Amino acid sequence: MTSMSIDGESLRQLVAEARQGDRAAADRLVREHASWVRSAIYAVTGRADLVEDVAQQVWTRAWEQLGTLEDPRRLRAWLYTIARNTAIDASIARRRQRELAATLDGQAVCDRRGRGPFGAAAGDELHETLLRAVQALPAIYREPFVLRHLEGWNYAEIGETLGLPVESVETRLVRARRLLREMLQGKVEP
């Protein structure tokens, strides 16, 4: 779970120092936010094998654009926007690459998502089925669902990061569970 250890004033100071090129401040910011940024990337892409590459791009973009962050207290939402955009770009690029490769091979494009380094090695059919179900969720439901489970954030934290009211977060989580229940009907025994 991501620590929320930095209070508003410290965060403002940390961001100001990082903007001035203070490496220690930048390191601390990355340490504090790296975990949930990864979860956010996973929430958007639904692919664990993309996470690390995209996370590096996210931090590169974040340092390039740090000057555009007007209110350091909104750092999380700002970072989430960068993470989401970068993750979407990476997903599109990967899909195009796969489609092109399939076209060149003369094979039908098949969805191999979830067969990344973890999927194939796990050898657990149920595990893969569950992940595929999460990946099949529309992004607006998947994002809060993944953040809730990977980061353990409450509705307010998810809402703050995604820029949503708490009620919307709740509704999206209810719908995510409903869809998952339909998809996994009879596959998981109580």
Partner 1 sequence: MNPELEKLEHLISRALDGECTSDERKLLKSRLRNDPQARALFDELRTLDEALGDALRRATRRTWHIISFRSRWGRVGQGLIVTAAACLAAMAWLHPTPPKAGPARPTRSIPAQASLTPSWFAPSPPPADEVTPIPSAYERPQLRVRGTQRNWIVIPGDRPGTFMVIEVDRVRTHVIDVHRDF
Contact 46, 135 (CB under 8 A): yes
Residues contacting residue 52 through CB under 8 Å, at least 6 positions apart:
38
CA distance 177 to 98: 30
The answer to whether 31 contacts partner 1 (rule: CB under 8 A) is no
Count CB atoms within 10 A of the CB of residue 109.
Answer: 13
Among 9, 22, 27, 52, binds partner 1 (CB under 8 A): 52
Closest separation between CB of residue 82 and partner 1, Å? 19
Q: Considering only residues 117-176, where is the footprint of partner 1 by CB under 8 A?
A: 117-119, 121-122, 126-127, 130-131, 133-134, 145-146, 148-150, 154-155, 170, 173-174
Question: Residue written as tokens 């350091």?
Answer: 72
Token digits for 134? 């999460």
CA distance 148 to 144: 6
**Minimum gap (Å) between residue 45 Cβ and partner 1:** 11
Judged by the rule CB under 8 A, the positions of this chain that interact with partner 1 are 38-39, 42, 48-49, 51-52, 116-119, 121-122, 126-127, 130-131, 133-134, 145-146, 148-150, 154-155, 170, 173-174, 177-178, 180-181, 184, 188-190
